[in-house]
Chains A and B, each alone.
Chain A
Amino acid sequence: MDRKTVNPRRLNGRRLFSEYSYVVSFILILIIAVCVNPNFFRWRNITTIFRQSATTTGIIALGMTMIICAGQIDISVGAQVALLSGFGITVLNATGSIWLMLLFCLAGGALIGTVNGVLVAYGHMPAMIATLAMQTSCRAIINHFGQGGPFAVADGMSTEPYYQTFREVANGSLVLFGQKVPYPMIIFIAMGLLFGLIMRRTRWGKHIYAIGSNEVSARLDGVNVNLVKVSVFTMTGVLCGFTSWLYSSSVMAVAAASAGNAFEMDAIAAVAIGGASMSGGRGKIIGSFLGVLMFKIINNTLVAAKVPTFLTGAISGAIIIIAVLLQNVRGRRR
């Protein structure tokens, strides 16, 4: 009440900053990147950043945004990618069809995600625990089947006809306006737009925000809370499946023990940098989208600056801390 009596203009200014702090962070990082690496804005560099995002955690982060907005968490995404990539390649090798592999990955992801969701919604398990168990299980299973070597497309024989076809998925590109645009970049941008639309303009999106904000109110508003919870996990599983397909194509040989390592952390960090509230209810697709890019730009810049590889993690960590602190400065006001 008393807060309403202060100048509403000023409040709006602060709100604007708090809502769009990820844009500020993004621009800051762009400036730093250009200073360190004058070649940053070369088209080739840009497409590389997008391709790296899409074939690793970019698309997963979109699903993670939904999960976090619903007040949940999923730490099994990295292990899901390892499992689906490994078995996906097995399917590919057996059938020679990249589309059957895609279908397998999507269906498998949906299944794993749904199990996660059902454990959380109907089994009343904390999401952290349910997905931790899923993470351990997935990783163990794929390690077991991957013993004695990685899962390689066509066992590494590039003479197989589908070898080249599959390689094209992550490495091919479309020529648009005289520029080569990699398929993963197109897919990533399209997915970002699609999920932005879902979160902003559909009932499903509104329900996700509603249950993350206040589950009791949401139930009284007629939201089927359990179903929405399951749906976000299922969708994230599907996106993990899709990512597995792109990821496999970009690496062509997947090591069971290390594939998708730390994907969950990168995805969660991207969502956090993107301004989402970890307790649910607030967060934007565009924020996470830029968050993912920020990550890759940082890595890209660190490489250009010849920072030793093992140290890059520490610097990324520092940047996450700074970006999130920036948001919390205004958060304390609440």
Chain B
Amino acid sequence: MLVEMKQIVKDFGPVRAVDHVNLTVHGGEILGLLGENGAGKSTLMNVLAGTFPPTSGDILLDGEKVVFHNAMQAMRRGIRFIHQELNLCNDLTVFENLYLAQEIRGPGPLLNKKEMARRSAEIFRRMNVDIDPWALVEDLPIAAKQLVEIARSLLFKCDLIIMDEPTTALSNREIENLFTIMRQLKEEGIGFIYISHKMPEIFTICDTYTVLRDGCFVDSGRIADIDEKRVTEMMIGRQLADSAFDNKPCYATEETVLGAENLTGETFRDISFALRKGEILAFTGLQSSGRDELADALFGVAPCKGTLTLHGAPLTGSVRRRMKRRFGMVPRNRKERGIHNDLSILDNASMGYYNALMTRPLISMKEELARYAREKQALSIKADTPANPITSLSGGNQQKVILARWLEAGADVLLFDNPTQGIDVGTKFEIYHLLIELARQGKSILIFSSEFPEIMKVADRCIILYMGQINRIMERSEMNEEDMMYYSTGANLERGTAQTDTAERMVP
């Protein structure tokens, strides 16, 4: 089946998420859909899969114009969307999941389990995989769950399968297995749209590509005609430099403040680095790079082996003990891991101080208010009364309150985990200036971020993680987005021996 999307536009209120994009996939072809986060890939795919209609533009199947009002209509026409997060019910069996909402019944209202299981087994045979239809989904390894999702799309007539980052949770060996199945299905004439941030995969499995940037169509063509550098360039465009931070001075001294040796946790291994006083050291990497877990491990909320030292003495124990050693962390995901919804702005701002520094038995309201007033001014927090709930503030101001919490905890080594997530550009820049100012005052800073432009603005050094290991360390003078993307997608390790080596080690 030939699928064409022509001049697709999708607006969300005043925001144009997809702007006149064209896309074509033939049967028996695997198209790689490329672009940075927020480039509009998922929106475009949701339009194709009928999740929501386009604002304008046409979808043609074999030249016939179609309009999908919901996902079910798209499914009936043979378009299947496998979402990034697995949509399986863990407590049901494999075949129950496959037939969820489309159960085979009879006699009467009773389920015909035997028939469903038999047909499921048939699908698995066709895919050449060994999964027991009667097994509980919960008991399956994650790769098998992914395969169940794929099997679900094959149960009924299916011509196009859209896969949104299907391999983030898979080891390389499992990825190979997935690719084998994809090639097999391709032989049967099924088309694929494949979304992934991992360059080696794109170049292994895809036949053609389409690149999006900021909701716009950039380019498309045959994968064989381009290389990874070129793709990266197309994805990030050329409107980069931000002169305000071009001549950022480096305040790093020779003294090592935080030392890590061979840190190994669940999703990362053999991480060693030394943070110097006054330095801003960045960590970056894709979702699967172990970045989040590493940040948690440094702060003592995720398990890890290896040695961690602060000012030469081992850093161990609970979060509170780390705080008392003047080590602080601004956590990622403000909503889930930062703010206390029910508490006032003041209590939110003071929580760090209570735990790290307060020695007297009773809290002094006067002191708290004075402290808050100081931070409010320093960070220019826009809020009327400190007794208001924190939810009355905008995202950027909430984040500033969280920053205030950690500045008031008196930390001199600070870990910022995705500090500018979901806040507006203006506030982002304020936070960048704050980071640099803190470094000037002699504080040492670790910043974990997925945004390369951000790292290029503030960091003195950047450690790029790939599949849980340090892939590359860049000095400020060497930093550029192309290379950062190149190394964080593991493109330098390509399909050679290096990668299978990693694969072996990543299998739990």
Contacts and interface: CB of A to CB of B under 8 A. Distances in A.
A206 interface: yes
Interface string B350-371: 1110111010011101000000
Given A201-B362, A222-B318, A222-B356, A209 B340 contact: yes
A216 B336 contact: yes
B265 interface: no
A203 B342 contact: no
B340 A203 contact: no
Point out which of B354, B361, B394 has the most chain A C-beta atoms below 10 A from its C-beta. B354
A215 to B, nearest CB: 10
B392 A11 contact: yes
Contacts of A219: 301, 319
Contacts of A280: 342
A207 B343 CA distance: 11
A124 interface: no
Kindly state the interface size class of chain B when it binds its partner.
Answer: 35 or more
A281 B390 CA distance: 13
Interface in B373-424: 384-385, 388-389, 391-395, 405
Contacts of A281: 340-343
A217 interface: yes
Interface stretch (A1-9, A169-177, A296-304): A1-9
Nearest to A15: B388
Main secondary structure of the interface of A (DSSP, over half): helix
Contacts of B319: 219-222
Contacts of B384: 8
Nearest to A210: B340
Given A220-B299, A224-B320, A213 B340 contact: yes
B200 interface: no
A222 B318 CA distance: 7
Contacts of B258: none
A235 interface: no
A221 B341 contact: no
A12 B323 CA distance: 35
Contact of A222 (B338, B343, B347, B352): B352
Contacts of B329: 220
A280 B343 CA distance: 11
A216 to B, nearest CB: 5
Contacts of B133: none
A319 interface: no
B331 interface: yes
B431 interface: no
B339 interface: yes
A210 B361 contact: no
B362 A202 contact: yes
B337 interface: yes
A1 B350 CA distance: 23
Interface in A107-141: none
B362 A223 contact: no
Interface in A186-236: 197, 200-203, 206-207, 209-210, 212-214, 216-224
Contacts of B318: 222, 224
A112 to B, nearest CB: 27
A96 to B, nearest CB: 38
A221 B343 contact: no
B251 to A, nearest CB: 27
Contacts of A212: 342
A222 B320 contact: yes
A219 B329 CA distance: 12
A282 interface: yes
B456 to A, nearest CB: 28
Contacts of B405: 221
A275 to B, nearest CB: 12
Interface in B229-248: none
Interface in A274-324: 277, 280-282
B124 to A, nearest CB: 36
Given A206-B354, A224-B320, A217 B362 contact: no
B301 A220 contact: yes
Given A12-B385, A219-B301, A224-B320, A201 B339 contact: no
Interface of A: 1, 3-4, 8, 11-12, 15, 197, 200-203, 206-207, 209-210, 212-214, 216-224, 277, 280-282, 334
23 contacts: A3-B392, A4-B393, A8-B384, A11-B388, A15-B389, A201-B362, A201-B365, A202-B361, A202-B362, A203-B354, A206-B347, A209-B340, A210-B340, A214-B336, A216-B337, A220-B319, A220-B329, A220-B331, A221-B351, A222-B319, A222-B323, A223-B320, A281-B342
10 tightest Cβ-Cβ pairs between the two chains A and B: A281-B342, A222-B355, A222-B320, A213-B340, A213-B342, A1-B394, A222-B319, A282-B342, A222-B323, A201-B363
